[in-house]
Amino acid sequence: MHVCLLIFPMTLNVNEIRKDFPILERETHNGARVVYLDSTATSQKPVQVIEAMNDYYRRSNANIHRGVHTLAEEATSLYEGARERIAKFINAASPREVIYTRNTTESINLVAYSWARANLKAGDLVILTEMEHHSNLVPWHMLQAERGIELDFIPVTENGLLDLDAYKALLNRTPKLVSFTHMSNVLGTINPAAEIIKLAHAAGAMTLVDGAQSVPHLSVDVQALDADFYAFSAHKMCGPTGIGVLYGKSALLEAMPPFLGGGDMIKEVKLRSFRPNTLPHKFEAGTPAIAEAVGFGAAVDYLTKVGMKDIAAHEHEITEYALERLEEIPGVRLFGPSADKKGGVAAFTLEGVHPHDVAQILDEGGVAVRAGHHCAQPLHEKFGIPATSRASFYLYSTKEEVDLLVKGLYKVKEMFG
């Protein structure tokens, strides 16, 4: 059974929300107003996040954890305060379970290098899916080459859902880890994470969830999901680039060896030995992205104030409208499930036109979409295509922008006959 987006009454004042995002007021090189439909790649940033980071640099810039002077204590409080609010945002049991990383990719690699290399041996099975981003494929390919682990994959059906019957059959092979995306960055499919995790645990496997696309758009409760590890990035949820999170259950993180060695991740260092620090600092070597953590905390505050349920409801309405409008266009092929089973993503091809040409012509009218394989080459191979165009939506997206996308696609059709 697949989890659908819950529908709530629309309460977002999108016109007011858009005023918080300065970039949405700018024009492109040819004078067209920006129509930003690429939030799956990275979201835009509200002034509240920009100002929080600027204020840190203007008023409190100092290194953290290492000084007792006023600026150092302020910087440490801002950095750790953001961690506390992020932990609350995903309902982690403790801020100690929130590890700062550079992004989702690094979070997944942390698990692969620390937990997996300490716990997996030749012949052990890791289950992934056919819809994974490269960041949840390549680290396991690397471990397979190094350690001789086995990889197998939950198939994707023609309508863009995971084949859960095939998954249950794979679980009979007693995997050690099941690692999967909560929401596909291409298909938009919202996978039934709680069910996948429950089945994995019943089979004795650990779980790692790529939440890069889900945390920005859905209410995520890591304790309710019972995820062992959960990874996500700030830049897709109104925050800055260069910082992400690995959530992990404290018992697992305590048992894992450090990922990187250096300053701040140690309790004691001698010439011939060292003792690692306590959580979360054990996995945060060196001077971290302090301003970015401040921005991350401001982003979480912003999303919390707007309301995640309202954001999800708004995106559902925009996505449903976008799919209906795109289906009207002759030659458009849409990928992924219906709007009730997906997030704010519409991946498509236009017959006879390469996706890069589609994106370039749309850009002439100010419409920004993504074109390519979206770091999911195996998924595109599954559907027999080299690339797609992808429009993606967020809390600041409007139906008028969808109309401009459709208008632009008709222009593309005219140009290519």
Which tens digits make up the pLDDT trace of 63-102? 999 889 999 999 999 999 999 999 999 999 999 999 999 9
> What was the pLDDT predicted at 33?
93
Element (H, E) at 36: strand 35-36
- pLDDT of amino acid 30: 84
**pLDDT tens figures, 194-236:** 999 999 999 999 999 999 999 999 999 999 999 999 999 999 9
Please check whether residue 113 lies inside any domain of the structure.
yes
- 40-49 pLDDT, tens digit each: 999 999 999 9
Are 22 and 67 part of one and the same domain? no
> Are 211 and 105 in the same domain?
yes
Which residues are 275's β-sheet partners?
268
Of 244, 271, 305, the domain-final residue: 305
Closest CA to 178 of 156, 196, 159: 196
pTM score above 0.85: yes
Domain span at residue 399 reads 14-46+307-415
Do 348 and 219 share a structural domain?
no
- For residue 323, count other CB atoms closer than 10 A to its CB: 19
State whether residue 202 is helix, strand or coil: helix
What are the C-alpha distances in Å from 150 to residues 140, 141, 146, 163?
Answer: 9, 9, 11, 20
Instruction: Say whether both 299 and 315 belong to one domain.
Output: no
Residue 9 lies in a domain: no
* 58 is a domain residue: yes
Alpha-carbon distance of 57 to 291, in angstroms, equals 7
Label residue 52 by pLDDT band (50, 70, 90): very high
Q: What is the pLDDT of residue 6?
A: 38
pLDDT tens digits, one per residue of 348-390: 999 999 999 999 999 999 999 999 999 999 999 999 999 999 9
Residue 2 banded pLDDT, cuts 50, 70, 90: very low
Query: Are residues 267 and 290 both part of a single domain?
Result: yes
- Same domain for 268 and 230, yes or no, is yes
Here the CATH number for the domain that contains residue 37 is 3.90.1150.10
d(CA 96, CA 87): 9
Same-domain check for residues 221 and 235: yes
Q: Considering the domain boundaries, does residue 2 fall inside one?
A: no
Q: 4, 32, 50, 375: which is the annotated catalytic residue?
A: 375
243 lies in the same domain as 390: no
Residue 286 has pLDDT above 70, yes or no: yes
pLDDT > 80? residue 11: no
Distance between CA atoms of 212 and 235, rounded to whole angstroms? 9
In a domain, 153, yes or no: yes
Q: Residue 357 falls within a domain, yes or no?
A: yes
Kindly state whether residues 94 and 232 are assigned to the same domain. Answer: yes
Tally of domains within the chain: 2
- Mean pLDDT for the chain overall: 96
Question: Is 5 within the bounds of a domain?
Answer: no
Claim to verify: residue 320 and residue 271 sit in the same structural domain: no
The CATH code of the domain that includes 95 is 3.40.640.10
Residue ending a domain, choose from 289, 305, 321: 305
Q: What percentage of the chain carries pLDDT values higher than 70?
A: 97
For residues 210 and 220, membership in a common domain is answered with yes
238 classed as catalytic: no
Banded model confidence at residue 3, pLDDT cuts 50, 70, 90: very low
Q: Identify whether residues 167 and 283 lie together within a single domain.
A: yes
In this prediction, residue 67 carries a pLDDT of 85
- Give the integer Cα–Cα distance in Å for 360 and 370: 10
Q: Is residue 361 part of a domain?
A: yes
Domain stop point among 272, 305, 338: 305
Which tens digits make up the pLDDT trace of 142-159? 999 999 999 999 999 999
pLDDT of the residue at 8 = 39
